[in-house]
Amino acid sequence: MFEQDSVSNNNLCRQEHAEGLNRRKFMVAASTILTGSLFTEARAMNNKFKKILQIGLIVDDAEAFAQRYEQDFGVGPWEMIDFPPSDGRLSGMLVNGKPSPLKLKIAFYRSFEIEMELIQPISESVFMDWLRKNGSGIHHVGFALNEDYDTFIENYKRTGKKPWIEVTNGDHTEGFAYLDYRKELGLILEVHKGKPG
C-alpha cells in the first residue's frame, strides 16, 4: 500500500515538474513576443523580429470604432489620418509594383510601445475585398525587423508566394508589405521599410 502511494506520489511529482517546465517555456516565449526582449533562446533561433509594432484591424467605419473604444473602454485618444499621407512620403505610390488609387481612412492608438490601427477601406482594393468577405475584425500584426526589409521580402517570394499587398513610394525608399503567413503562423504579418523599429 505504502509502496503504491510512493509510486503515485513520484508520478505526480514528475507530472507537476513537466507542467512547470512547460509553463516556464510558455512564459519565456510569451515575454519574448510581447516585450520584444531577445533572450538567449531567441538569439539562438536567429530571431528575425525586434518587437511587435502594431495590431491592425480592418473595419467598416474607423471613426465609429475609435469612438466606441474610447467611450466604452477608455482606449484613446485616437489619431485619424487619410491614406496616402499628405506629407509626400509615399509620393509616386505603387501597389504591387503598379500605380494605384488606394485610399484608406485610418485611426491610430499608441500605448505600451504598441500601436493599434483601425483601417477603413475607401477605394476598391484588397482591403475592401477583405472587409466584404470577413466583416470588421483583426487583420494583421506588424513587426519591426532585425534584418533588411528587401532581403526579408525576397526570401518570402522565394517560397513561391506573393505579398498580400506591397506598397512603396516611387523611389522604393519607404513602404510596407503584408505577408500571408496564416497557414504557417496563424496571422498576416506586416513589415515596414523606412519605419523606425
pLDDT tens figures, 36-65? 444 444 454 688 899 999 999 999 999 999
Average of pLDDT values for 98-106? 88
Q: Does residue 105 sit in the same domain as residue 159?
A: yes
- Residue of 172 and 126 predicted with greater confidence: 126
Mean pLDDT of the chain: 81
Q: Does residue 40 sit in the same domain as residue 57?
A: no
For residues 164 and 177, give the distance between their C-alpha atoms in angstroms, rounded to a whole number: 7
Q: Does residue 66 sit in the same domain as residue 130?
A: yes
pLDDT at 8: 54
Percent of the chain clearing pLDDT 70 (strictly above): 74
Q: Does residue 130 sit in the same domain as residue 94?
A: yes
- State yes or no: cis peptide before 163, omega within 30 of 0: no
For residues 36 and 31, give the distance between their C-alpha atoms in angstroms, rounded to a whole number: 8
Q: Does residue 92 sit in the same domain as residue 78?
A: yes
Q: Does residue 117 sit in the same domain as residue 61?
A: yes
Whether residue 27 is predicted with pLDDT greater than 70 in this model: the reply is: no
Percent of the chain clearing pLDDT 90 (strictly above): 55
Whether residue 10 is predicted with pLDDT greater than 60 in this model: the reply is: no
Main-chain dihedrals φ then ψ at residue 25, nearest 5 degrees: -60, -40
**Structural domain total, the chain:** 2
Q: What is the CATH number of the domain that holds 180?
A: 3.10.180.10
Main-chain dihedrals φ then ψ at residue 128, nearest 5 degrees: -65, -40
Contact 112, 137 (CB under 8 A): no
Which of 61-65, 84-88, 191-195 reaches the highest mean pLDDT? 61-65
Q: Does residue 158 sit in the same domain as residue 189?
A: yes
Whether residue 137 is predicted with pLDDT greater than 50 in this model: the reply is: yes
Q: What is the pLDDT of residues 148-173, one digit of tens each?
A: 999 999 999 999 999 999 988 777 78
pLDDT band of 130, cuts 50, 70, 90: very high
Global confidence as pTM: 0.73
Average of pLDDT values for 131-147? 96
For residues 176 and 167, give the distance between their C-alpha atoms in angstroms, rounded to a whole number: 5
Q: Does residue 21 sit in the same domain as residue 95?
A: no
* Region label for 155, one of left (φ > 0), alpha (ψ between -120 and 50) or beta (otherwise): alpha
Copy the grid coordinates of residue 11. 508520478
Q: In which domain, by residue range, is 73 found?
A: 48-193
